[in-house]
Amino acid sequence: MTSFEEDETEETATCLHMTFYHPCQQDKMMFRCLNFCKREQVRADEMAKFGRDSNVCHYNLVDTRVSRIQFSLQFYRKLNSSEFCFEIKNMSKKTKLTVDQTELGYLNKVDLPWKCIICFGDYQILAEIQEGEAMDYFETHLHLAKVPILQERCLPSLQPVPEKGIFPSLSPSQGKSPIEIDENESC
């Protein structure tokens, strides 16, 4: 056997891709302490913390409106499964955290969906989980968005309204008409 054949198989790590957006990111540079476009390993027994306090949070957001610890992510394996997941916990007493349509108060936590949008204040974060096998660590890969994530994600789901004002899938006998949505209303 050659040394190549004797080497252990390299495991791929579960990777959490996070794309950050804030409307004032150009002026205030609140993401300047984040390490973009480079994968970072995090031990499985550590909690990934995001917030203002650089002594506690590995992922530091330079903004006085952000809590010392805004939120944390915990890597875990589902019971009786080989599937790895993350749970997200809101650590802010002042600001609610939204994961897709679920609003979290202080110390509330939920499983992070495979693809979701995390929001607090004016911050928008697109989180996407890429599966892996490694049990001792996971990776984070941070990206910076140039356009709002919510705007980008909502546009494809908008359906054109026919000139007659009736959707083809609804028959006139049902008496339903399109619902008008205020442009300032979020998706």
Look at the chain and report how many structural domains it folds into.
1
Sorting pLDDT into bands at 50, 70 and 90, what band is 134?
very high
Q: Return the CATH number at 135.
A: 2.60.200.20
Residues 6+ apart with CB under 8 A from 55: none
pLDDT of 172 reads 45
The answer to whether residue 169 is domain-embedded is no
Name the helix (H) or strand (E) containing 26: helix 25-28
The answer to whether residue 157 is domain-embedded is no
3-state secondary structure (DSSP) of residue 4? helix
Tell me which of 183 and 17 has the higher pLDDT. 17
- Other Cβ atoms within 10 Å of 16 Cβ, number: 20
Whether the predicted pLDDT of 176 surpasses 50? no
State the pTM of this model: 0.76
Q: By residue range, what is the domain housing residue 119?
A: 11-146
